[in-house]
Amino acid sequence: MTKFSDLNLNPKVLKAVEEAGYETPTPIQAGAIPPALDGRDVLGIAQTGTGKTAGFTLPMLSLLARGRARARMPRSLVLCPTRELAAQVAENFDTYSKYLKLTKALLIGGVSFKEQEQIIDKGVDVLIATPGRLLDHFERGKLILSDVKVMVVDEADRMLDMGFIPDIERIFGLTPFTRQTLFFSATMAPEIERITNTFLSSPERIEVARQATASETIEQGVAMFKPSRRDRADSEKRKLLRALIDAEGDKLTNAIIFCNRKTDVDIVAKSLKKYGYDAAPIHGDLDQSQRTRTLDGFRAGSLRILVASDVAARGLDVPSVSHVFNFDVPGHPEDYVHRIGRTGRAGRDGKAITLCNPRDEKALSAVENLIQKEIPKLDNPDGYDAPKADAGDAPSEDAPKKPRRSRSRRKSDDTPDRQDTAADKPEDTKPEAQSDAKPDAKPEDTPQDARKSSSRGRGGGQKQDSKDKSGPVGMGDHLPSFIAKSFDERMVS
């Protein structure tokens, strides 16, 4: 079995690795480190949680052990999609470079430009950045990338999802053509394949697992959920989530709950806290200091449940996360792999539970097609009753359907049609009589039943008085006198 001592790492780097408690490299580390030390380009494909970060950190430190950085000209560059992932990479460099005199800078949003510029001006060996903040510094004239010797792109498929590919292509163009490139991704979409063919030179391809597969140490399950009514779906879904958490009992030491939308992150976290659960939200709209405090609390164990958007799916490395809950089925199947990859890390056991309602079944099928296995269906937890539709909420398919009410005015069975009305007219009544009708007829000139109908306005023809159905229907606010006279004669007869 290969050990770190067999990989020709710098002795000072190897000493830091041993002090961190690692002896045997993971498959991606064993495959990527030797060609990287030889100066070759590397294309690493591995599922999340397999140690890709150390796979490029250790050879970079060994290559940079000699030499010195110049002001504003970093010697190496690491690009990460999120602030949290960039911070995690920076922690790895601090851990493994403790015996090397190397400097680093972390360029992420939410931090003062001035502080970052002061560090860059002194010269840094390792520059770790998100694409947007890196280009901001470059456009300000505070950064020169012409001396980059090693460039790393981490979580490239997440870059694609977040729309960073144009920025990545631009940054590649700002670095020397002779640079060494280490490219890591969990999946290889066609767009990612195009970039690797364009910017990598005969890379060593290391693929240690089937693309987009979940770790075998993760127990997966899906809780099917059908709301009683559409307007109750969210609250009933949160009730199911609480029941699932309670059902895990002491086995749930800590958990991450993923939601598709930032608004749902806040709502779910607030709901859990209301019911006495130790939970806090994290997503891209929160202040960076608040995100840092929340993550630090979760890592330290003072926070039990973290409710997160996908911004934390790739940037959180807590080896002992016992459970992951997908409050929503992710819209992109690849995100499912990255979400549940937060548990079951470093060979530990983990559990991932997904809540799925009928409208998400198509997305669930896409996830199962990607991971090439069916996710087992879970029974309802003890003490949880599946919501049932109220008797008056929705009619049964077998129930007789009520006739649809038309917007047009309907005539009553007792209401004479136009031909009958014309036949009842006195013979001496002329068509011109309509023009002789007074527009401002007094109420006493109108028959009593007609007044009742007209008082109901335009809807009078749709609903008649149940005591008498012989009056005129739908005549509006004004009833011409010649029509009133014809109804009066009928009532007398």
Q: Per-domain residue ranges for the chain?
A: 4-207, 224-371, 418-492
Q: Please, which pLDDT band fits residue 483 given cuts at 50, 70 and 90?
A: low
Of the CA atoms within 13 Å of residue 389, those in its CB half-sphere come to: 9
Residues contacting residue 420 through CB under 8 Å, at least 6 positions apart: none
pLDDT of the residue at 1: 59
Which neighbouring-strand residues pair with 42?
182, 204
Do residues 117 and 71 lie in contact, with contact meaning Cβ atoms separated by under 8 Å?
no
Alpha-carbon distance of 429 to 480, in angstroms, equals: 13
Of 1, 48, 8, 6, nearest to 28 (Cα)? 48
Whether the pLDDT of residue 322 is over 90: the answer is: yes
Whether the pLDDT of residue 321 is over 80: the answer is: yes
What are the angstrom distances between the C-alpha of 264 and each of 10, 203, 235, 304?
47, 42, 11, 19
Alpha-carbon distance of 130 to 476, in angstroms, equals: 70
- 224-371: CATH class: alpha beta
Report residue 42: phi and psi, to 5°: -130, 135
pLDDT of the residue at 418: 44
Q: Are strands 279-282 and 305-308 parallel, antiparallel or unpaired?
A: parallel
Of 24, 34, 33, 83, nearest to 53 (Cα)? 33
pLDDT cut 70: percent of the chain above it: 75
4-207 and 224-371 have identical folds: yes
pLDDT tens, residue by residue, 335-353: 888 888 888 876 788 999 9
Does this model's pTM top 0.85? My answer is: no
Residue range 4-207 in CATH 3.90.1300.10: no
For the segment 130-141, the average pLDDT, to the nearest whole number, is 94
For the segment 141-167, the average pLDDT, to the nearest whole number, is 90
SS3 280: strand
Write down the mean pLDDT value for the chain.
80
Higher pLDDT, 69 or 316: 69
Rounded to an integer, what is the distance from CA 309 to the centroid of its chain?
A: 6
SS3 48: coil
pLDDT of the residue at 464: 44
Alpha-carbon distance of 157 to 128, in angstroms, equals: 18
Q: Hey, what are 410's tokens?
A: 């309907």
The one-character DSSP state at 221 is: E
Residue with tokens 């890592």: 299
Whether the pLDDT of residue 422 is over 50: the answer is: no
Alpha-carbon distance of 92 to 58, in angstroms, equals: 9
